[in-house]
Amino acid sequence: MVDLLLVGVFAVVGRLSHYGSLTLAGWWETAWPFLAGTLLAWVLLRLLHRPGGLVTSGVVVWIVALVGGLLLRQASGQGTALPFVIVATLVLGALLVLPRMVARILGRRGPYARSS
């Protein structure tokens, strides 16, 4: 759930930085491809039985959310200009991997703690 929230934040920041305002429709237009990519990553991790641990799962979510999101943006006629790809790569990487790294350092407390 935290991943979806962070991808949503990515879309909010992107919309505000480019348009100076935020509407639900505008947010959704930006967010849905990356939210779908995030959900696909979760399905893949579930099918693979979450290999590699906390940080590795973050890398999988990052890459699948990014690539899936970009492919869905392209398929839906939204832009995938190189500057956007670079920013999306860096920001999603920071949002989806760094919190897991911090959680690992802190002993997996918080929203990324493994549930038994």
What is the rounded distance in angstroms from the CA atom of residue 38 to the CA atom of residue 105?
24
* pLDDT tens digits along 86-116: 999 999 999 999 998 988 888 865 565 554 3
pLDDT at position 72 is 97
Neighbouring residues of 41: CB distance < 8 A, sequence distance ≥ 6: 3, 60, 61, 63, 64, 65, 68
Whether 46 and 104 have beta carbons less than 8 Å apart is answered as no
Q: Which two tokens stand for residue 14?
A: 């992107």
Give the chain's mean pLDDT. 88
Residue 116, pLDDT score: 36
pLDDT tens, residue order, the chain (116 aa): 899 999 999 999 988 988 878 899 999 999 999 999 999 999 998 888 765 677 788 999 999 999 999 999 999 999 899 999 999 999 999 999 999 898 888 886 556 555 43
* Amino acid letter, residue 86: I
